[in-house]
Amino acid sequence: MDRQKRQRKKRVFKILLIFFILIIAVFSYGFYQYYQGLQLANVDQEAPTKEKNQEEEFQGATIENNIGKVNILLLGIDARDEEQSRTDTIMIAQYDPKTESAKLVSLMRDIYVEIPEHQSYKINTAFFLGGPELLRKTIKTNFDIDLHYYAIIDFKGFEKAVDALAPVGIEIDVEKAMSEQIGVSLQPGLQNLNGKELLGYARFRADAEADFGRVRRQQVVVNALKDEVISVNGVTKLPKLVGTVTPYIETNLQTLEIMGLLKDFILHPPDHIDTLRIPVDDSYVDASYPHAGAVLEINKEMNKQAIDEFLNLGGLETTN
């Protein structure tokens, strides 16, 4: 009997030892991939310097009760522009590991808003005037949303991230021919797009839909990237992916926090990323001001309520 117990203990010990070795191997591989990604990024001399136009440190909200639900301000800019950047893409990403849900709010850049301590203007002007902190204040003032973190990614970094994650490209059904002002020429049909092509698809707005179509396509791209990230192939490349894009990202998230969010995302992947576009339908009119040009004049209460219901209560897709 004692002999059987000893043998059983040996088997258990061997199994635990195998798991221990596997865990070490996974973490070693992860860090190797991460630093390999950093080295690849550093070879590229086109990596932009970080934005320097913010006037104040980002004062993100504290995550209440440590429940894990996080709101991240995502900003896309083109650092190759010589002038100070007005962010081209403004999104709020929310992930809740407890409910395994992910949500994305796209704020159209021409929304006319109150900018604290400045004249009312388009929402993307807040970033131009005071960086992510002034934009955070502007979003809080107009929509009453608490943001915990921010991340600014340059478009060059987006291209590199896509190519590192999916060397054969991301499958997208391109709905029409696209080429004007996007740096690539796309033809209609289901196809795999590399980083530069996917960025062009997401930025295209030279048609009747204009900026509304661009926002819709950006949300399509986010869901397509999500599917690639949580695939078995994508999971093994995540550390390298983080290392590759790090030089192109400005964020108040630390590397370990990023890895932690990625870990939660992988262990509790959402089936779908619910999306909301602001302004919602029937809540805005086209307007124009001498100092701001063409803008979207919105019903703030209607849109504030839509965001609150979307992030805190519901989660139905409302891209429109």
Residue 122 lies in a domain: yes
Which domain covers residue 230, as residue numbers?
Answer: 44-313
Asked whether residue 13 is assigned to any structural domain, the reply reads: no
CATH code (residue 102): 3.40.630.190
Which is higher by pLDDT, 111 or 41? 111
Evaluate whether 54 touches 131 at the Cβ level (below 8 Å): yes
Q: Is the pLDDT higher at 302 or at 57?
A: 302
pLDDT value of residue 20: 44
Inside any domain, residue 124: yes
Computed over every residue of the chain, the mean pLDDT equals 77
Residue 11 maps to a domain: no
Does residue 134 fall inside a structural domain? yes
Q: Per-residue confidence at 317, pLDDT binned at 50, 70, 90? A: very low
Tell me which residue has tokens 């991340």: 151
pTM, to two decimals: 0.75
Judge whether 69 and 63 are in contact, CB under 8 Å: yes
Would you state the pLDDT for residue 55?
A: 56
Determine phi and psi for 42, rounding to 5 degrees: -70, -20
Q: Is residue 9 part of a domain?
A: no
Residue 31 included in any domain: no
> Does any domain span residue 114?
yes
Number of H helices, E strands in the chain: 8, 12
Q: Which pLDDT belongs to residue 38?
A: 56
What is the C-alpha separation between 88 and 95, in angstroms, rounded?
Answer: 23
Phi, psi of 259 (to 5 degrees): -60, -35
**How many structural domains are present in the chain?**
1
Distances 41 to 107, 165, 252 between C-alpha atoms, Å: 30, 14, 20
Q: How far is Cα 228 from Cα 193, in angstroms, rounded to an integer? A: 13
Dihedrals phi, psi of 71, to nearest 5 degrees: -110, 120
What lies within 8 Å, CB to CB, of 13 at 6+ separation is: none
From CA 226, how far away is CA 102, in angstroms rounded? Answer: 10
C-alpha span between 240 and 164 (Å, rounded): 8
Output the pLDDT for position 17.
47
